[in-house]
Amino acid sequence: MSTTILFTIISLSAIGAGAAIILYFVAQKFKVYEDPRIDQVEEALPAANCGGCGYPGCRGFAEALVKADDISDLYCPVGGNETMATVAKILGKEVEAKEPLVAVVRCSGSPEHRKQVNEYDGASSCAISSALYAGETNCQYGCLGLGDCVDVCDFDAIYMDEETGLPVVIDDNCTACGACVKACPNDIIELRKKNKKDRKIYVSCVNQDKGGIARKACKVACIGCGKCVKICPFDAITMENFLAYIDPNKCKLCRKCVTECPTGAILEINFPPRKVKEEKKDASKEKKTEVSDKKENDSSTQNK
């Protein structure tokens, strides 16, 4: 009995040892050399695997970083400048600090401003809805409100506001990976420069229809009047297809365009309240828009 056990132990150990020796030589023979810096760089990356850099996961990006001679075009939006500086240190390469970006939703068409004219009861996906038709309102450019951007966000940085039916970006969570920008079939979301104190001025509209059509579809649409272009002291605003666009790199956040806009399509966010004088001006503007609203309502009833 005991010899059987002994025999088993010895023979199995011998097989094990033999296999270990074979494996050692095979491993030596087929060894793949891998730059140890890839592991170091991967360690430094945020491990979000979001694909915001354009590479398949952090490992893929680390490989690309090690391989590239000049890494100034490569950027990890999640880690930002700090991470890139660490990576540059590991690799002994130069890297320039980039302005941090943040996702901005360019549509203010809540039901209050943008009347619902029909009902969509298909699959709950913006991509499907936009392939079928223009959406529940008369604005074919605006937010469809089915939340494809929320579904793709890995960082809980965007949610649907139940009241307005529009997505809202949480600036502190947003890493500017660009997933929502790609997911939006109407190209409403844009990555813009993250200014001090998260201050933002942007045209919250992507409607390229003529003024009248845009205004009828949505009260806060950009009607392409060009007033903002004229008043901007820094030439930061351009007008194309009846739609104003504020260049985030030229804009100095002076806020002149915000008060000039007759429909309120330009938004200012995270600014301190204005001085009393300007508020008065605002009030008179609001009255004007109210009057024009009434006129429009009259004409629309006549049309019916």
Partner 1 sequence: MLKTFTKGGVHPAESKYSADSPIEKLPLPKTVSIPIAQHIGAPSKPLVKKGDKVKVGDVIAESAGFVSANIHSSVSGTVTKIDNVLDSTGYRKPCIIIDVEEDEWNKDIDRSTDLKKEISLMDKEIIQRINQAGIVGLGGATFPSHVKLSVPEGKKIDVLIINGVECEPYLTSDHRLMLEKAEEMLVGIQILMKALSVNRAIIGIENNKQDALEHLAGLIKNYPGIEVQALKVKYPQGGEKQLIKALINREVPSGGLPLDVGAVVHNVGTAYAVYEAIQKNKPLFERVVTVTGQSVKKPSNFMVRIGTPVADLIEAAGGLPEDAGKVINGGPMMGKALNSLDVPVIKGTSGILILPEKMAARKPESNCIRCAKCVSVCPQGLEPYLLNKLTQLEKNDILEKDGVMDCIECGSCAFTCPAGLPLLDYIRLGKSRVSRIIRSRKQ
* Closest to partner 1 by CB, 26 or 123: 123
Number of residues in contact with partner 1, rule: CB under 8 A? 16
Residue type, 188: I
Q: Which residues contact 215 (CB under 8 A, 6 or more apart)?
A: 221, 223, 263, 296
Least distance to partner 1 from the beta carbon of 182, Å?
Answer: 11
- Does position 300 interact with partner 1 (CB under 8 A)? The reply is no
Residue type, 177: C
Residue 221 near residue 205, CB atoms below 8 Å: yes
- The vertex-27 CA angle with 21 and 31, nearest 5°, equals 160
Q: Does 241 bind partner 1 (CB under 8 A)?
A: no
Nearest CB to partner 1, comparing residues 138 and 195 = 138
Exactly one of 8, 72, 118, 297 binds partner 1 (CB under 8 A); that residue is: 118
Q: How far apart are CA 160 and CA 169, in angstroms?
A: 9
| Contact between residue 146 and residue 181 where contact means Cβ atoms under 8 Å apart | no
Supply the minimum distance, in Å, between the C-beta of residue 183 and partner 1. 11
Residue 209 CA to residue 213 CA, distance in Å, equals 6
- Site for partner 1, residues 131 to 190, rule: CB under 8 A: 131-135, 140
Contact between 94 and partner 1 by CB under 8 A: the answer reads no
Confirm or reject binding of residue 122 to partner 1 (CB under 8 A): yes
209 lies in the binding site for partner 1 (CB under 8 A): yes
CA distance 217 to 117: 10
Decide: is 292 part of the binding site for partner 1 (CB under 8 A).
no
Say if residues 111 and 220 touch (Cβ distance below 8 Å). Answer: no
**Residue nearer to partner 1 on the CB measure, 128 or 231:** 128
CB of 59 to partner 1, least distance (A): 20
Nearest distance from residue 27's CB to partner 1, in Å? 33
User: Can you point out the beta strands (E) in the chain?
Assistant: 101-105, 158-160, 167-169, 189-193, 200-203, 237-240, 243-246, 266-269
Closest CA to 275 of 260, 259, 261: 259
Question: What residue has token string 């605006």?
Answer: 142
Stretch that binds partner 1, among 71-79, 122-130, 218-226, 292-300 (CB under 8 A): 122-130
Nearer to partner 1, 14 or 123 (CB): 123
Say which residues have a Cβ less than 8 Å from residue 53's Cβ, sequence separation at least 6: 61, 74, 75, 76, 77
Binding test (CB under 8 A) with partner 1, winner from 74, 127, 170, 231: 127
Distance CA 164, CA 204 (A): 14
Among 38, 128, 150, 170, binds partner 1 (CB under 8 A): 128
* Residue 246: CB minimum distance to partner 1, A: 25
User: Nearest approach, Cβ of 61 to partner 1 (angstroms)?
Assistant: 20
- Binding site residues, partner 1, CB under 8 A: 117-118, 121-123, 125, 127-128, 131-135, 140, 209, 213
